[in-house]
């Protein structure tokens, strides 16, 4: 598999991207298409899915399919029924949730409503997504889940983001242990700041960051079981300078 050209790496494989219309999701979708996958792009807005289709255009050789759905909805069986037409899937990428408010608020000043909203959008939604998507994967498939590096470090004045990222990491790691090699491979990618089109548009961009396309190409290799990290369920992609690691670059 390691000798397969990148443009053919995912030829004949179907990969679902949950959160495909977000800044990271669109870049990952583009990269997976460039690796030859049939990509099922899932998002909550038909309008944004149409814009994604226009953006990816002739990115091929892969094929883009769009499907409006909320993978974080409580009725996981209904979501699974909607998406079962594309299965069994070879891969699923989960890049959903709330990356946090730009306003800095200390823990002691947070309201119950802010706490409950972040738990719902950045933890419970991921639980629902894992419950909906994992059974759609073939036994030889792979699920790639993204969490932020705030899972590993104190995150003052944005503690709810760090707390939910840490909880998501634990949730996915526990799923890996429960499957115990019997079923799809599960990868938890801990990421740093990411270059995306929306962030670049507001001037938040740096060549020292991984791009969303970089993450997509890496996810594609994991789905294909290709490369030196295919056997590592926990990986850190914080910055290109740190490289891909299996332990945090603290």
* Domain-embedded: residue 107: yes
Q: Residue 45: which domain range?
A: 6-237
Q: What is the pLDDT of residue 2?
A: 47
Question: Does residue 42 lie within any of the structural domains?
Answer: yes
Domains held by the chain: number: 1
| Predicted model pTM | 0.95
User: Could you give the CA distance from residue 95 to residue 88 in angstroms, rounded to a whole number?
Assistant: 20
Q: What is the dihedral of CA 60, 62, 67, 71, to 10 degrees?
A: -110
Q: What is the pLDDT of residue 102?
A: 72
Does residue 248 fall inside a structural domain?
A: no
The helix (H) or strand (E) run that includes residue 144 is: strand 137-148
What value does the CA radius of gyration of the chain take, rounded to a whole number of Å?
A: 17
Q: Is residue 245 part of a domain?
A: no
Identify whether 130 is part of a domain.
yes
- The CATH number of whichever domain residue 194 belongs to comes to 3.40.50.720
| Residue 115 is assigned to a structural domain of this protein | yes
Q: What is the pLDDT of residue 1?
A: 37
Query: What gap in Å lies between CA 164 and CA 169, rounded to an integer?
Result: 9
The confidence score (pLDDT) of residue 100 equals: 65
Task: Please report whether residue 206 resides in a domain.
Answer: yes
Among 52, 37, 167, residue whose Cα is nearest residue 92: 37
pLDDT in tens, the chain (250 residues): 345 778 899 999 999 999 999 999 999 999 999 999 999 999 999 999 999 999 998 888 999 999 999 999 999 999 999 999 998 999 999 999 876 667 889 999 999 999 999 999 999 999 999 999 999 999 999 999 999 999 999 999 999 999 999 999 999 999 999 999 899 999 999 999 999 999 999 999 999 999 999 999 999 999 999 999 999 999 999 999 999 999 999 7
Q: What is the pLDDT of residue 40?
A: 98
């Amino acid at each position: 598999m390691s000798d397969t050209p990148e443009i053919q790496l995912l030829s004949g494989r179907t990969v679902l991207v949950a959160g495909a219309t977000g800044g990271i999701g669109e870049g990952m979708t583009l990269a997976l298409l460039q690796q030859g996958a049939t990509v099922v792009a899932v998002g909550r807005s038909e309008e944004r899915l149409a814009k994604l289709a226009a953006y990816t255009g002739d990115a091929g050789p892969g094929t883009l399919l769009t499907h409006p759905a909320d993978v974080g909805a409580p009725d996981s069986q209904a979501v699974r029924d909607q998406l079962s037409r594309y299965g069994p899937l070879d891969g699923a990428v989960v890049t959903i949730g709330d990356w946090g408010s730009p306003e800095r608020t200390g823990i002691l000043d947070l309201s119950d409503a802010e706490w409950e909203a972040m738990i719902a959008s950045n933890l419970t939604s991921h639980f629902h997504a894992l419950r909906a998507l994992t059974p759609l994967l073939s036994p030889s498939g792979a699920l790639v889940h993204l969490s932020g590096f705030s899972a590993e470090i104190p995150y003052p004045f944005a503690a709810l983001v760090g707390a939910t990222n840490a909880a998501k990491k634990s949730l996915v790691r526990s799923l890996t242990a429960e499957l115990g090699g019997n079923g799809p491979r599960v990868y938890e990618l801990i990421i740093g700041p990411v270059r995306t089109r929306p962030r670049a548009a507001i001037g938040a961009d740096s060549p020292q960051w991984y791009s969303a396309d970089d993450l997509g190409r890496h996810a594609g290799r994991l789905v294909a079981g290709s490369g030196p990290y295919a056997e590592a369920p926990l990986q850190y992609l914080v910055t290109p300078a740190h490289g891909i690691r299996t332990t945090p670059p603290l």
